Amino acid sequence: MFESDFERNLFELRRQKLQEIEKLGQPAYPNQFRFSHTIADIRARWGDTPADSFESSSVNVAIAGRIMAIRAQGKAGFATLQQEGQRLQIYVRLDAVGEQGFALYKLLDLGDHIGAAGYLFRTRTGELTIHVEKLTFLAKAMLALPEKFHGLSDVEARYRQRYVDLFANLDAREVFVKRARVLRAIRRFFDERGYLEVETPMMQPIAGGAAARPFKTHHNALDMELFLRIAPELYLKRLTVGGLDRVYEINRNFRNEGVSTQHNPEFTMLEFYQAYANYLDMMQLTEELIAFVAQEVNGTTITEFNGHTIDLAKWQRLKMTDAILQYWPSEAGVKPALSAFESPEVLRERLFAALGLLNEAMAEGSSITPERRALLKAVRDGIGAVYADSAKNAPIGKTVYNLFEEIVEPFLVQPTIIYEYPTVVSPLSKAKPDDPDHVERFEFFIGGFEIGNAFSELNDPVEQHKRFEQQLAERGRGDDEAHQMDEDYVRALAYGLPPTGGEGIGIDRLTMLLTGSKSIRDVILFPLMRAQVSANKDQGTDAAEKDAEH
């Protein structure tokens, strides 16, 4: 627990102070405090009240809070209390609180929790302040607070010791307040539309509904291998078979993948399903939902993200192939004809030609800006990877999809719906009636990354069984993210799934957009961190502490 002798000494000093406080007749760890107002209440109600009106009629209040600043001045002193992210100053004078009260004040430290009762006034500088008549000790901070001006800025410490981050950095707190508002708004949105909130298994014998590597676990009593879910999808559709026409679930998914500013191994996903709807209905619903949530959370649909101003109420819809053409850089030659997306050979040739032209454009002596060069390099590397994959007999649909991800996705900053996905990358989506190679599916992108994914659900059990078998073949070829066979899910479909639209939305990423957070770890209270090798420098001295860790 202690990181240094400094901390050990401070802790011991504070214990002595606690004993002194008890001698003053105050319990060291009282079990309640009745406050008349929260600090927020007081700020809201008297924040603008002029000084003279406090003199004509006194306002008595009692508040509780953590001491975030303390300034003693002989026989008087100030302290700033913080509660629920709001602060209020108190003024303590010997002649107002008495010998005992002032003795207590002198035993207070930064970080302590106290109660303060008295009347409101304004100081010379106009700050709303409580003139304290009674101090109540509530709990002690036995460790030192971070620097009062800069707060806790070490990123690692902020994630690992979020409890400090939350009270030391109020903007960190604000992110999580907003995150709660996001969830509340989503629930309101779906509840008002007749959706039922449900919870489906997070431990599953088959981890289905997405292409991702799962976490494995084991149930002892049943001696059963289980997976943490990678998606709730297949269970939610079983519910729609069961007659729950509109369901939604907000819960964690777990994917055994790397971490990045956009990926945490456990993340929160919203999924919803609506019977008798298709992917076009889902598009409509998505646009309404995102604008609604933004309005509820921020009071506006405008958000600032990564240097961009984004309007979450303004959407564009683009067919995937059209998007590729639109973002095809001029340096890569004339845009491919639409027919190129139907022939693996033609597309491959076009990609090869584009690589040559891009390399030429970036050659020494060319007069392009460094920014353009960086962009072209990313595009060239992307196309290079896609080309390499396509040369390994990847299905044309996979090549088109990869190409889209490489040259379009990072540039989709304003809200954009991309639709018409290749069937090969969409094993659970319903094919277009007139085009078996494409499905009724869309994803939407904001701020340069994917936020959600939706489709008309495939409800033909025979077709679904076939798609699963294709996935098994992929698995056999070494793709360990290909979908597993789920016989029970096929059986559920055999009982009849009505035409259904479904969608999944990443809540963490949506929260990033709405809070301007660049990293997903800033919107997750306790992001996964590598285990720390215990730097316990105080071995052997604190047996009880060691026991507590086991």
Considering the complex, state which of residue 121 and residue 352 has its C-beta at the smaller distance from RNA. 121
Can residue 119 be called a binding residue for RNA (CB under 7 A)? no
Pure H helices in 193-301 = 233-241, 279-298
Q: How far is the CB of 95 from RNA (least distance, A)?
A: 4
Give the distance from CA 532 to its chain's centroid: 23
Binding to RNA (CB under 7 A) within 201-220 occurs at 209-212
Binding region for RNA (CB under 7 A) out of 57-65, 75-83, 337-345, 542-550: 75-83
Q: Which of 38, 86, 89, 295 binds RNA (CB under 7 A)?
A: 89
Shortest spacing between CB 310 and RNA, in angstroms: 17
Strand order in the sheet with 203-204: 203-204, 224-228, 216-219
Name which position in 46, 91, 273, 328 contacts RNA (CB under 7 A): 91
Rounded to whole angstroms, the Cα distance separating 457 from 436 reads 14
**Structure-token match 């079990």, residue found:** 31
Confirm or reject binding of residue 127 to RNA (CB under 7 A). Answer: yes
Near RNA by CB under 7 A, which window of 188-196, 198-206, 283-291, 523-531?
523-531
Contact stretch for RNA (CB under 7 A) within 143-151, 432-440, 456-464, 489-497: 143-151
Q: Build a one-symbol-per-residue string for 359-378: x at contacts with RNA by CB under 7 A, - elsewhere.
A: -------------------x
Per-residue DSSP letter, 143? S
Q: Binding string to RNA for residues 495 to 514, with x set by CB under 7 A, is what?
A: ---------x----------
Interface positions, 162-191, toward RNA (CB under 7 A) = none
d(CA 231, CA 481): 13
> Which residues 386-445 are close enough to bind RNA by CB under 7 A?
405, 425-426, 428, 443
Encoded tokens for 60:
């008595």
C-beta of 217: minimal distance to RNA in Å?
Answer: 20
Question: Closest Cα to residue 140, out of 13, 228, 314?
Answer: 13
Of 181-189, 252-260, 339-347, 359-367, the window that binds RNA (rule: CB under 7 A) is 252-260
Interface with RNA (CB under 7 A), residue from 221, 222, 363, 531 = 531
Region from 121-129, 198-206, 349-357, 490-498 binding RNA, contact rule CB under 7 A: 121-129
Three-state SS annotation for 145-181: CCCCCCCCCCHHHHHHCHHHHHHHCHHHHHHHHHHHH
Q: Give the residue with the Cβ less far from RNA, 426 or 515.
A: 426
Q: Does 517 bind RNA (CB under 7 A)?
A: no
Q: Is 459 in the site for RNA (CB under 7 A)?
A: no
Residue choice 22, 84, 147, 197 for contact with RNA (CB under 7 A): 147
Question: Nearest approach, Cβ of 80 to RNA (angstroms)?
Answer: 7
Long-range contacts of 510-513 (CB under 8 A, 24+ apart): 510/182, 510/290, 510/293, 510/451, 511/175, 511/178, 511/179, 511/182, 512/305, 512/447, 513/303, 513/305, 513/310, 513/312, 513/446, 513/447, 513/451
- Rounded Cα–Cα distance for residues 265 and 246 (Å): 28
Q: Is 430 helix (H, G, I), strand (E, B) or coil?
A: coil
Q: What whole-number distance in Å separates Cα of residue 411 and Cα of residue 447? A: 8
In this chain, which of 144, 291, 362, 485 binds RNA, going by CB under 7 A? Answer: 144
Which of positions 7-66 make contact with RNA (CB under 7 A)?
A: 7, 10, 13, 17
Indicate the residue among 428 and 514 with the shorter CB distance to RNA: 428
- Classified as helix, coil or strand, 502 is strand
C-alpha closest to that of 407 among 347, 317, 324, 348: 324
Cβ 175 to RNA, closest distance in Å? 14
Q: Under a CB-based contact definition with an 8 Å cutoff, are residues 140 and 48 in contact?
A: no
Q: How far is CA 84 from CA 91, 129, 363, in A?
A: 20, 17, 57
Residue 254 CB burial class (10 angstroms; 0-12, 13-18, ≥19): buried
* DSSP letter string, 304-345: EETTEEEETT--EEEEHHHHHHHH--GGG-SPPPGGGGG-HH
Q: Is 540 among the residues that bind RNA (CB under 7 A)?
A: no
Q: Binding string, 277-296, against RNA, x = CB under 7 A?
A: --------------------
- The whole-angstrom separation of Cα 473 and Cα 466 is 11
Choosing from 12, 55, 84, 154, the residue that interacts with RNA (CB under 7 A) is 154
Q: How many residues bind RNA (CB under 7 A)?
A: 86
Query: Closest distance between RNA and the C-beta of residue 442, in Å?
Result: 11
Smallest separation (angstroms) from RNA to the CB of 101? 12
- What does DSSP assign to residue 27? -
Least distance in Å: CB of 195 to RNA?
18
Give the shortest CB-519-to-RNA separation in angstroms: 4
Binds RNA (CB under 7 A): choice among 1, 157, 183, 368:
157
Where does residue 74 fall: left (phi above 0), alpha (psi -120 to 50 degrees), or beta otherwise?
left
By CB under 7 A, residue 68 contacts RNA: no
Residue from the set 15, 23, 75, 216 that interacts with RNA by CB under 7 A: 75
Among residues 21, 97, 135, 145, the one that binds RNA under rule CB under 7 A: 145
Three-state SS at 446:
strand
